Amino acid sequence: MSSSRLKTYPGLQPTDFMHPWDVKATGALKNVPGLDKLIAKVMEYSFERVYYLQNVADNVRVTESMFPKLHRYLTWGCKILDIEEPPEFYVSLDPAYNAYTYGHTKPFIVITSSLLNLLDEKEKMFVICHELGHVKCEHVLYTLVAENLAALIEVIGKMTLGVGSLLGAGLALPLLDWYRKAELSADRAALLAVQDPAVATRVFMKLAGGAESLVEDMDQAEFLRQIRAYEDRDASNLDRAYKLLLTIFRTHPFPIMRAKHLDLWVREGGYAKVSGTG
């Protein structure tokens, strides 16, 4: 793939593309009592530094000479999304399909080797730019808190004879709710970068049920029909309750729902408005 055909967005602001659910959840999270104390504990215990050192020791850093294609995708993504300084980027040997961005003062991106093996070149750029979307939207501070919530609840509980554990537990659901909705904004950033909705759909389809030996037999139209079938299950209150219970403790929305929300953004004109393609 070539960067020469990709449009850039000088001056792009997170508010230009953030999902309204993310905006609302972020506002609600800032009003949760005790969140400021939890963030202070994150910084006090230097979780960010520990994870950074572990990452540097255990993974391979992407540079101009190490995985140069991945490095180009990172560089292109930063240019397209108007991110001044590219974050550090690492590849981890891991059988799980995963990618994440970690760190507030010095964010870094990690993508597992198995996920890279599953994706084609454009899809790899989509995933990289999804992670850049988290950096662009400044999601990484709350992500740092969410990722360390269990440890923080234990620390605060011991310091306050158990009272703080109740505070921490009360923060868990709002944090996880925000976490899921932040993913929808990062997906929008990734689409602005790759500029092809079909690429996004393929990524979600593979994340939902990808097997490297079966990728050629997957059908995007059938996957989109599955999304509509899932939506139809909202017909009863019981189905809606089950959907809530299935989702409430997840850090990420189901891939099928991520596909639905990004497809809606395209069909309703939001993508065209930001990208200038309408």
- Give the dihedral sign, CA 63/134/199/97: positive
Q: Please give the model's pTM, rounded to 2 decimal places.
A: 0.84
Q: Does residue 88 sit within a domain?
A: yes
Residue 260 lies in a domain: yes
Any domain includes 3: no
The CA distance from 93 to 198, in Å, is 28
Provide the number of structural domains found in the chain: 1
List the single range of 8-12, 115-119, 147-151, 167-171 with lowest mean pLDDT: 167-171
Domain assignment present for residue 134? The answer is: yes
Catalytic residues: 131
Average pLDDT taken over every residue of the chain: 82
CATH number, domain with residue 150: 3.30.2010.10
CA distances from 83 to 189, 246, 253 (A): 11, 35, 26
Within-domain flag for 132: yes
Q: What are the residues facing 108 on neighbouring strands?
A: 88, 102
Does residue 7 lie within any of the structural domains?
no
Instruction: Tell me, yes or no, whether 70 lies in a domain.
Output: yes
- As a whole-number percent, the residues of the chain with pLDDT over 90 amount to 43
What digits encode the pLDDT tens for the residues 64-111? 999 999 999 999 999 999 999 999 999 999 998 999 998 877 889 999
User: Is 52 within the bounds of a domain?
Assistant: yes
- Domain residues for 228? 15-275
